[in-house]
A and B are shown apart, each in its own frame.
Chain A
Amino acid sequence: MKIQLAKLAHARSGDKGDTANVGLIALREEFYPLLTRKVTAERVKEHFNGVVKGEVERFELPNLGALNFLLHESLGGGGTLSLMTDAQGKTFSTALLRMQIEVSDNEAAELGLAARTED
């Protein structure tokens, strides 16, 4: 079954020059291994296709149940040079939460995510 990241995580994003960072935080500790497995740097790069021009790096923070992504060349030059409404990348957080990941029915049931998906 497909599950949207918004059901599994919360997030905050910010900027460093032309790089946006998104910190993705598991809503429950037990979701963290699933996020680590599914939300890879490649997958995030693909998700932001056309928005992020450069590479995507990923760092793991198991102590916080969080992943940190650096999305290079994504802010139209960054800082005061950028013409974007969101020159500081503050809404990249919820843009990432739009992502759908594939979770097996078994795992979804174990994580308490399977119920009422057909509603």
Chain B
Amino acid sequence: MKQKIRVAAGQGFWGDLLDAPVRQVEGGPIDYLMLDYLAEVTMSIMQKQKARDPNAGYARDFVPLMKRILPTCVERNIKVTANAGGVNVRACADAVREVARELGLAGKLKIGIVTGDDILERVDDLIGRGIELRNMDTGEPLSSVRDRIQSANAYLGAAPIVEALKEGAQVVITGRVTDTGLTLGPLMHEFGWAADDWDKLAAGTIAGHIIECGAQCSGGNCQYDWQNIPDMANVGFPIAEASPDATFVITKHDGTGGRVNVQSVKEQLVYEMGDPYEYITPDCVADFTTIHLADDGADRVRVFGIKGRSATDSLKVSISYSAGYKAVGTLVYAWPDAYAKAKAADQILRMRLDRLGLRFDQVLTEFVGANATHGILAGEPSTDIAEVQLRVGVRGNDRAAIERFTKEIAPLILTGTPAVTGFAGGRPKVEEIVAYWPALIPKSEIKSQVEILDV
């Protein structure tokens, strides 16, 4: 057994720095490259793509990335875990196999496929059997939006990834697997951690949590001493360097920018945190109040002492559903009295919307430069403020009303308050809202499948 396994994070979200995974592979020694592509509503976009084209529905960026890094990965035996498969894991794996063959890697690697998370076709059956999939936030049963559902996926954990690695997969492609499972799976496989060794599973989960947002633990978005964090243009993505005893070090490649220190890791630990005593994943319940951090030299933080508890009987399900339309319009007002002018323009706009008889579920006005982020906490802006952006958003089910709203913004330039500009982008776009519906499902309902493809 290796005494150190280095898992490198290559993407914090779908759309993160394109070259980051390449730099992780080429910038120094790693054993695993972990890539998280799936945000909560990504699956619905992928379902739509698949409906149009049966070969689509996965993170397409993943295939050209594999083309760039697969030869090095094979040469140095770097394994890849990625939830790039979206709602069409098979098509994604086929595309990667194609690329691998083009690279002359036939016979040199295996691709693991993890499925079983997609329950879109089973929703009626589940509801019919009394599994209501109630919204975890509102308590409403899923039946209330049944006809508007666009995707439904259970979050799988580390177990099927471990299975794929055991069968020799060099690249493991999954659908909806937890971000943390992509890191925990490799550690369970390499160190032989048992599926009920809760403390170790919790530690591997927390290692995953720290690196899953990419550079957000290595200097990105870091408040602590941000002015002095070096070379952010060349920011290094994080690496979890784990030991068999489930302690680990968070670090990054030598020669990269950014900074890993106790403060940068703490900031990431509290990110999107709920009850720290109960961080629930399919694999275990991790207790964030047991995490200990220590400085371990330049750009190294040691993490130890982590305790966990047994996993729950449920899996989280991520459902997306169509929830109406929205549009946001903006204009910029200049000194003097920029804020007063923007406020008056908002009143004019609202009166016009009223007279047109347009009804919305919500109209929200913000004044960027004055209160858009901190609201009333920001206090009254100075009358001397250089400029204020008026930003008006509307939301509702009546698409025609939202369309009409988008045509009422530009006229404010000639028919509203003065010293106004900023309409170069044209009319605002009407966006379909795809909303997120979190629910729980009994674990016994979900069976993951693992398949191995020879290249």
> Which A residues are closer than 8 A to B by beta carbons?
10-19, 21, 23, 25, 27, 47-51, 59-66, 68, 70, 76-81, 83-86, 91, 93-95, 98
Contact = CB atoms under 8 A, between A and B. Distances in A.
Given A80-B323, A83-B362, 15 more contacts: A10-B224, A19-B137, A21-B270, A23-B266, A25-B266, A59-B273, A61-B288, A64-B266, A64-B288, A66-B266, A66-B269, A79-B435, A83-B326, A83-B394, A83-B395
Contacts of A10: 223-224, 263, 267
Tell which of B223, B273, B305, B376 has the most Cβ of chain A within 10 Å. Answer: B273
Contacts of B266: 23, 25, 64-66
Interface residues of B, number: 48
A63 B270 contact: no
B40 A12 contact: no
A80 B368 contact: no
Given A51-B377, A80-B323, A80-B433, A68 B273 contact: yes
A16 B267 contact: no
B393 A83 contact: yes
B272 A91 contact: no
A95 B291 contact: no
B221 interface: yes
Given A17-B438, A63-B290, A68 B267 contact: no
Interface stretch (B107-115, B116-124, B274-282): B274-282
Contacts of A81: 323, 395, 433, 435
27 contacts: A10-B263, A10-B267, A11-B270, A12-B267, A12-B271, A14-B271, A14-B273, A17-B436, A18-B137, A21-B272, A23-B267, A23-B269, A25-B224, A47-B377, A64-B270, A65-B266, A68-B276, A79-B40, A80-B41, A80-B436, A81-B323, A81-B435, A83-B394, A84-B372, A85-B372, A91-B373, A98-B374
Residues of B contacting A: mostly: mixed
Contacts of B372: 84-86
Nearest to B366: A85
A17 B268 contact: no
Contact of B272 (A15, A27, A76, A80): A15
Nearest to B438: A17
Contacts of B376: 49-51
Nearest to B135: A17
B424 interface: no
Contacts of B394: 83
